[in-house]
Amino acid sequence: MEDIKTNILDLTYTDIEAYVEGIKQPKFRAQQLVNWIYKRFVFDLEQMHNLPKAFKVEIDNTACMYMPKVSHVSYSKADNSYKFLLKTNDDKLIEAILMLDKGRATVCVSCMIGCPLGCKFCATGSQVGFIRKLTVAEIVGQVLAILQYSKDNEITNKITNIVFMGMGEPLLNKEAVEKSIDIFTHPKCLALSPSKISVSTSGVGEGLADFIHKTGVRLAVSLHFTTDDLRSHYMPINKHFPIDKLIKELQKIKLKKRDYILIEYIMFRGINDTLHQARQLLGVIGNLKVKINLIPYNPTETLAEKASDEQTMNEFAQYLNNKGVFTSIRRSKGTGIDGGCGQFALKKANS
């Protein structure tokens, strides 16, 4: 019976209102229920003392509140971040990271277990392969579980930013990602501004512009290379959706004032880090409104390339900044605990 029950954490606020009406309860009960979940992080019906008994019995009979459970937490002092291993109902592990920095508390969420796109430099894609997509409750649940844990352990009682930069390709789990964003941003739920949410994509086809217009979130694009040859070698998706198509799709996006697309560019020593390639990069982005983020390659077991050295990265950044394109260098968060971007491997846990 369990699996046919509605998981309340899969539902947007509008869905919860419909559910409440469906079990013949007044609509305002939706808000009461949602308050417990999204404002107080209470998931146990017993503790929801302002809900009438009959309502709770009805919920208990027809619904559940399942989310992944924290199974292991490691802290990296060097970059003040916590890596969470969370366990799903079917005993798979998901990773999420909490990063604390200058008053911001950012959660990096996963949207899949593994990833089907198989980028060579990414531990998720090259070592885990693809296991399955995550549900809305499993995406939202990462943030809720981290919030609950952080509150109990006096780490933080509020999350200020969410980035979809963990395991998986958000645009290949669009429906669940969109619903999760709805829950993150709904004033009655987590009430984050869409501008505090970033979605990183490797670019998987048409529909990117629509997705951004619909959700209002910030977009980060994993470009990483300036020619189709190189990009297709490291990112097989480029064979189906090459650079010029990706750029055309990005040109369709109507950015709000002061908004920009973040271009992610992993730097590999001797492969994509010359000033000639910096110039090519300018050519590729053309007149798109972008900022560029240079990311040192985080070595994985399966790809022997090395990260560019600091001086090369600085020169590359300086070149672009001098040409008027704002460029920063990211020190990858969580590398000390093997949870930097692209290191969400989990191969042992899921095998």
Q: Which residues contact 350 (CB under 8 A, 6 or more apart)?
A: 92, 93, 113, 114, 128, 131
Is 115 labeled as catalytic in the residue annotation?
Answer: no
- Which amino acid would we find at residue 41? F
CB of 331 to ligand SF4, least distance (A): 19
Cα–Cα distance for residue pair 275/320, rounded to 1 Å: 9
> Active-site residue among 17, 95, 169, 264?
95
Of 185 and 300, CB closest to ligand SF4: 300
Under the binding rule (CB under 6 A), the answer on residue 264 touching ligand SAH is: yes
Of 38 and 121, CB closest to ligand SAH: 121
Helix (H, G, I), strand (E, B) or coil at 51: coil
Under the binding rule (CB under 6 A), the answer on residue 144 touching ligand SF4 is: no
Cα–Cα distance for residue pair 234/342, rounded to 1 Å: 13
Q: Binding ligand SAH by CB under 6 A: which of 197, 266, 345, 346? A: 266
Cα–Cα distance for residue pair 216/256, rounded to 1 Å: 9
Please tell me the number of Cα atoms within 13 Å of 300 on its side-chain side: 23
Distances in Å between the Cα of 266 and the Cα atoms of 121, 184, 230, 297 are 9, 29, 13, 6
Under the binding rule (CB under 6 A), the answer on residue 169 touching ligand SAH is: yes
Of 29 and 133, CB closest to ligand SF4: 133
Under the binding rule (CB under 6 A), the answer on residue 106 touching ligand SAH is: no
Q: Binding ligand SF4 by CB under 6 A: which of 68, 118, 170, 334? A: 118
Point out which residues pair with 323 in neighbouring strands. none
Backbone angles phi, psi at 18, to 5 degrees: -65, -40
Of 76 and 124, CB closest to ligand SF4: 124
Number of chain positions touching ligand SF4 (CB under 6 A) = 12
Under the binding rule (CB under 6 A), the answer on residue 170 touching ligand SF4 is: no
Q: Is the dihedral of CA 154, 158, 160, 165 positive or negative?
A: positive
Question: Which partner in ligand SF4, ligand SAH, none is near 341 (CB below 5 to 8 A by kind)?
Answer: ligand SAH
CB of 194 to ligand SAH, least distance (A): 18
Please tell me the number of Cα atoms within 13 Å of 116 on its side-chain side: 8
- 115 touches 167 (CB < 8 A): yes
Is 119 labeled as catalytic in the residue annotation?
Answer: no
Q: Binding ligand SAH by CB under 6 A: which of 142, 200, 272, 327? A: 200
Tell me the two tokens of residue 287: 């007149």
DSSP state of 309: P
The site for ligand SAH (CB under 6 A) is made up of: 121-122, 165, 169, 200-202, 222, 264, 266, 295, 297-298, 300, 332, 341-342
> Could you give the residue numbers annotated as active site?
95, 341
Task: Give the residues lining the site for ligand SF4 (CB under 6 A).
Answer: 115, 117-119, 122, 124-125, 168-169, 202, 222, 342
